[in-house]
Structures are given as C-alpha cells and as structure tokens.
Amino acid sequence: MNPYSLSRRAIALRSSAIREILKITAQPDVISFAGGLPSPETFPIEHLRNAAERVWQHQARTALQYGPTEGHAPLREWIAERLRAQGSTQVRAEQVLITTGSQQGLDLLTKVLVDEGSKLLVETPSYLGALQAFAMGEPRFHSMPSDDEGIMVDAMDDAMLEGARLLYCLPNFQNPTGRRLPLARREALVARAGQAGVPIVEDDPYGELDYGGQRLPSLHSMNPEGVVYLGSFSKLLTPGFRLGYMVAPPVIFEKCVQAKQAADLHTPSFTQHVVFEAVRDGFLDRHIPTIRALYGRQCEYMLEALERHMPAEASWSRPEGGMFIWVSLPPSIDTERLLEQAIDHKVAFVPGAPFFCEAPQRNTLRLSFVTVAKENIERGVALLGSLIRDALAAQPQARRA
Amino acid sequence: MNPYSLSRRAIALRSSAIREILKITAQPDVISFAGGLPSPETFPIEHLRNAAERVWQHQARTALQYGPTEGHAPLREWIAERLRAQGSTQVRAEQVLITTGSQQGLDLLTKVLVDEGSKLLVETPSYLGALQAFAMGEPRFHSMPSDDEGIMVDAMDDAMLEGARLLYCLPNFQNPTGRRLPLARREALVARAGQAGVPIVEDDPYGELDYGGQRLPSLHSMNPEGVVYLGSFSKLLTPGFRLGYMVAPPVIFEKCVQAKQAADLHTPSFTQHVVFEAVRDGFLDRHIPTIRALYGRQCEYMLEALERHMPAEASWSRPEGGMFIWVSLPPSIDTERLLEQAIDHKVAFVPGAPFFCEAPQRNTLRLSFVTVAKENIERGVALLGSLIRDALAAQPQARRA
C-alpha cells in the first residue's frame, strides 16, 4: 500500500520501455541499436576543453554564479544570429530562452499551454520523450494521420485542429521514423495550423544532420508568430551539457521564462559559457560536416545490412539524415516479444509501440546506427533477420497472410 | 488579446518581485541587499578547475554523453555517505536523485504529489521560489503559524494537517527569515506529520552554513520514511553548476525519477563529474569553514549597522547561520513603497510580502549581507534607517501607534 497520496499524473506514470531497455543495453557485450545517443566520436573534446579553459581564465566568477533565467546573453545572441542565417530572419535574441536540454522546452510548454483534458495533436508515431513530457499535463492526445513522409496534412479535417492547444511536430529526420516532412506539406501544415490558431511546436534536434547537405526551411521560418522552435546542442556538440533552446512568440516566451524560473531557476551558467566560447568562432560549420559524413556512412552500412538480411515481408525507412531507421514487420510479429529473444542473443532495439499515443503498431521497431561499429551492424542485423524469419516460419500460414 | 489558449496556471503566473528587482540591482552602483547569491569569494575556482582537468583527461567521453536520470553513481554514493555521517544513518545511494538545482526537486515533488486544489502546508513566511514551484500544481496553500523560531507546532490543530499532500519546511537559517527550528520543535513536527501521514519536504540549502559550527539533527534523520530531503551544492561550491539532490522514500523517489526523465532527461553529466572529482577527497570539510567564517563576519557587520541606524520601532532576526536577516517595521510602513525610495538612493532589498502565501505582512523585508563590502553595509543600512525614520516622521501620530 502506498503511504502517501500521489497526484493523478504520478499514479498514471509508468516506467518507460526505453529506460528499462537502456539499462540492459549498457552491458558491453550487447550490440545495441536501441540507444538515442550520439556517437562519442563526434564529441569535440579538445575544442570544448580549450573553450572551458578560456572560461576558467576570464569568466570564472560569472560562470560559477547564478545567472539570468533566460540564459547567457551572448549565447542567446549567437543562436538568434544563426537562426536568422538559416531563414528565420526575424529572430531576436530576446526571444531565445536557453533550456536544460530541449526536453525541458517540452516540459515548459506543457506547463504553459496544457490543462488536464486539453487536446494535443501529435504525429503517428511520435517522439516518446515528448509524449512523456506532455503527459504530465494530463492532456487528451490525438494522433494525426501520418505516412512515410510525415503528417498527411490534406487528410486532416478542421474538427481535428479545432480547439487543440498545440500541434507537436519533428519535421527533420524524426525520432523514431527518420522521415522528413516535404516542403509542400510544411507549407500546408503551417497554413492550416495558423488558420486554426493552433501553435505548432517544432522540435528540431536533427535538422543539421542531413547527409546530403540539403536543408528544408523550418516551419518557424514560415510563420514565426505561429511556431515555437526547439533546438539543441546535444547532437552537434555534446548531450552531457544538457543545453537546448526555445524560440517562441512573446506571450508564450514570457510565460515559459516564468515557468522555467520555478523549474530550475536557470540552465547551468558554466556550460552556457563554455558552449558560447566553443561556437563563437564558427566552429560548428567546420564540425557538423564530420558528423554528417559519419552518420551518413553508418546509415548506409545499416541499409545494406537490412537489404541482405531482412525477409521480403519487412520494410524500412531510408532516412536522408538523423540517427534512426524505422522497420515495419508483418502484423503477426510483436516486436516486444522479438526484443526478448534478441536480448537473449545480445542484440537490442526499441519496440515501436511506445511511440504511439493510440492504436500502437506492435509490428514496428526503431534502429539507431550511429554508435555501432560496421561489423557489429552486420552481425546484429543478420541476427535480427534470422529471428524474424524464425518467427514467421513458426506461425501458421493463415496468420502470416 | 492573447492569440493562444494558455493553461490556467500560465494565466495565473505573475512575474516575481525578486526577479524584477534583481534586474535593477545588477547595476554596479547599487548597494544590493536583495540578492540570494552566495559570495563569489567563496567559489573555489582553482580547485574546481583542477577537478575539471581530471574529468577532461580521464572521463571526457562519459562526462559528455547522456547519463542516467538518477545521476552520476559515484556522486550519489558520496552524498549518501555524507548524509549517513551527518545522522541520516539509513540513506543508501539508490535513494539519492541528482537534480538540476534543489529548485528542480520542488518542481518534481509538485508533479508527483500535487493535484489542482491539493492542500499544501508552508511556513509563514516561506521561500518564494518554493511557492512558485508549488503554484504550478495549482494547490491551496495553508500558512502554518510561525514565530521567530519557525513553525509553532503546538499551535497547529489536527484539522490543519488533515489531508495535506505535503508540509514544506526550511528548518535551517530559513530563506527569508534566517531563523532556525529548535530541536524540540523538530521532534514535535516530525511526530505530528508522521501521525497524520503528511510527508515533510525538508529544504536544506543552508544547513552547513552555521557560524558557530553547532548543527541540529535534520528532520530526515528523525524519520527517513516520512521526510523528503533536498540538498544543494549551490551555497557550498557554486550555484553556476545548478547541482542539487533529493533523498526520498521509495515510492516518491521512483515517481520523481520518472518525472525528471520527462523534465530534462537528467542533470548535466559534465558538472556532476566535476563536482564528484572536487568533493571526493574531503575538500568540503576544509572549504566550508571558510564560508562560515566569512558569512558570520558579514552578518555581524550588518547586525552592528542595524543597531546603529534603525529606529527603535524596528526589529530584526539574529541568525546563527545562512545568508539572510529579516526586518520588521511598524505596520504603517509598506516596504514595497520603501523599496522605490531606496532604489532612488541606490540601495536595494527584497520586500517581505511575496514570501507570504496569505495575509502578507507588508511591513517586513529581507536583507542579504553576504556579497556586500563592510563599508557598503554600513552606508546602505544607514540610508535605509534614515528613509524609515523619514517615513515614520511623515505619518500622523495616530497611524504610528
């Protein structure tokens, strides 16, 4: 029996599948495609260390003191400048809120926009961490019709948009599917949401990780007054600093600042100073191409391995950027059961079901390719392929149809 | 008109008085007693830099990667060990959750324990940042009867405790009053709350900053199953790392871990590694006495200045630790109006009203003495004294009575 009265949202909380799996996959002999971790090979250790050295020498007292809730002013200015160069031409530093990872942006938006029972629109499937953050506001989730290219804007009727508190979208190399929303859908989505008065939350941790170097304009650049943009340094520099940011229209911005003050006062001053020192000289423009090249290569290894080892009944996404491939198996296969078998063979992935807020597709799974060596991608995918074939072979013909 | 539908809690949010004041007092020519900032003289810059150097050399990849939501295991173990040595003999590392400042502990507890309308018990007055964090859960605040020694446990009837979701208490050198809860009241409070099944949230950022070196046992040490303990490195090492921790009974702990995962995934790995390297060799036991000595000296300067310059109608606390003195003026004086005059004369403090969740005592104010040079304490207090005398002299005799 529980000795204390917990809140409704606490009672509803369940430990996440990913969280439990990550514990297992921390064992060194497991080939893990389960992580959402960037490759540590991409961490610019010496560059960050030198940046930190400058902070210790010249800014230690400021970097070790409490700072403004909005964040370190020069870093906010740098972010605004970069977003302007990327097409969000109206962004001012005063609209940039530094957050403790972009995950915190989701938490703040939940506090500011969501009451219990509020209607939220999310992709099918959607980023699990966002579903968890939003769930703290006890909303009603509505799953937007989506296909291999993302939200099917034309298939959404006005009733779906009406009264929604926010529309959450990860347009670039989405977690978990790896898909990217095409330009025409971006324009249509921004127009529809704008007409309905529904703010779009554009979560963009992978936007700069396009292998081909071809970026699409952000939703934010199309309608800055109607879109909250969430960015992150986690995939470009290091996730260990937990440094992200939000750009929001004035009313939402001001309320998020106040919610952030109540949440953690401000994001650590020290890491903000170090990151500003690390990026101010244009380092990212030299560094990001090396990440793109590595991840593009790793993705290719995995796509080749999938071609070689997956049965004909399987299909998968072919991402042009980011960190994930999404696999769909015949409906008879439950990937949570498959995972148990795979773990026995020291291979891990993330089952797809938790990424759906309704009608989970239990025959789907997410693979990350960025941290696994080429030969282990080959071995791990071969093993998964053979487990899937075995599962299919063991089933009566009728169920496979 | 507001273009978006905000949540109820966002609509209720007001920018905090302290926040607006801190902006003004950042001007270098202001003598500010308003801050809650530790003295940067106490930041062990070289020691932290050396600790960071060890992290860069030996643990960079781990310290720059995502980490467990619960926190860096060696740091959790170190904290548990220290708390055991301080009397909480049962604490295990598995109960220690690293938080992004102890402020985040308040945010997580709000999520896990508070529904809209839930009854929360707080001191009179209480820490403003806690009131802000709790307010995000839309509770009903109840102000516990309190005097110069803290909560008057004997004056609380059973009806006050009944049905409360939590009881929030800052027993050591409270923000804003500087008062410390005596041993007998601690024992009575823990017993009463335990009988009523109300978890106590013990917020203890200043517990080690006793000038005389005489510590009182924590509430947590008296009933670990009934008390959630919040600790912080902000006043002992640096607030710029935003590093705090929570120790909680199992059910609350597990829910807080899940809420934290949704809030910011985890506290920055890098700063956790650096702090562990900084404290593992017993550094705090050498360092804290220097903070105590400095703050004790500064407190003495301010108490002497108050004696010299305050009118007979004023009274103030005489703290034995921490960072704050609480001043009560005749009821006719509104300290928010007094602040406007003081700012005109380049002196700042925090008016007392925002620290009350009901029936604000508008004739109170908070002074921090830790960052102000001795001669400026003298000048600033002299100026405040003369403004108060002027205000009293300007009033009709009847209103002064």
- Res B19: pLDDT: 64
| Mean pLDDT of the region A223-231 | 97
- Res B18: pLDDT: 58
Interface test with A, best of B1, B255, B260 (most A CBs within 10 A): B255
Residue A143 main-chain phi, psi, to 5 deg: -95, 120
What are the residue ranges in chain B where pLDDT is below 70?
1-3, 15-22, 24-26, 396-401
CATH classification of B46-284, choosing from 3.40.50.300, 3.30.70.270, 3.40.640.10, 1.20.120.330? 3.40.640.10
CB B55 within 8 A of CB B270: yes
Nearest to A103 among B60, B225, B264 (CB): B264
CATH code 3.40.640.10 region(s) in chain A = 45-284
Q: Tokens for B375, please give them.
A: 């001669």
pLDDT tens digits for range A54-96: 999 999 999 999 999 999 999 999 999 999 999 999 999 999 9
Nearest to B271 among A4, A40, A271 (CB): A271
- Min Cα–Cα distance to chain B from A307, Å: 31
- Res B401: pLDDT: 46
Q: Chain B: residue nearest A128 by CA?
A: B262
CB A97 within 8 A of CB A123: no
Residues A271, B268: C-beta atoms closer than 8 Å: yes
- Min Cα–Cα distance to chain B from A397, Å: 42
| Mean pLDDT of the region A179-189 | 98
Nearest to A7 among B111, B265, B268 (CB): B111
Q: Chain B: residue nearest A3 by CA?
A: B197
Model's pTM, two decimal places? 0.96
Which residue, B211, B181, B180, B179, is CA-closest to B300? B211
Residue A328 main-chain phi, psi, to 5 deg: -115, 130
Left (φ > 0), alpha (ψ -120 to 50) or beta: where does A374 sit?
Answer: alpha
Q: Chain A: residue nearest B100 by CA?
A: A264
Which residue, B9, B197, B202, B251, is CA-closest to B115? B9
CATH code 3.90.1150.10 region(s) in chain B = 8-43+285-392
CATH class of B8-43+285-392: alpha beta
- Res B127: pLDDT: 97
CATH code 3.90.1150.10 region(s) in chain A = 8-43+285-400
Cα distances (angstroms) measured from residue B238 to each of A52, A335, B79: 16, 46, 16
Nearest to A64 among B6, B238, B266 (CB): B238
- Res A319: pLDDT: 97
Nearest to A3 among B104, B114, B197 (CB): B197
Which residue, B267, B227, B224, is CA-closest to B245? B267
pLDDT tens digits for range A207-219: 999 998 789 999 9
- Res B395: pLDDT: 80
pLDDT tens digits for range B306-325: 999 999 999 999 999 999 99
- Res B1: pLDDT: 37
- Min Cα–Cα distance to chain A from B222, Å: 18
Cα distances (angstroms) measured from residue A17 to each of A21, A23, A32, A135, A271: 6, 10, 15, 15, 30
pLDDT tens digits for range A293-315: 999 999 999 999 999 999 999 99
Give chain A positions within 8 Å (CB) of B8.
115
Residues A3, B63: C-beta atoms closer than 8 Å: no
Give chain B positions within 8 Å (CB) of A261.
16, 19, 129, 132
Round to whole Å and give the CA distance between B245 and B256. 12
* CA–CA–CA angle A162, A228, B13 (5° rounding): 85
Say what the ipTM of the complex is: 0.95
**Mean pLDDT across chain A:** 94
- Res A21: pLDDT: 63
- Res A397: pLDDT: 61
Residues B52, A56: C-beta atoms closer than 8 Å: yes
Q: Residues near A108 by Cβ (< 8 Å), separated by ≥ 6?
A: A97, A99, A246, A256, A259, A260, A263
CATH classification of A45-284, choosing from 3.40.50.10490, 3.40.640.10, 3.30.70.20, 3.30.2130.10? 3.40.640.10
CATH class of A8-43+285-400: alpha beta
Give chain A positions within 8 Å (CB) of B241.
64, 268, 270
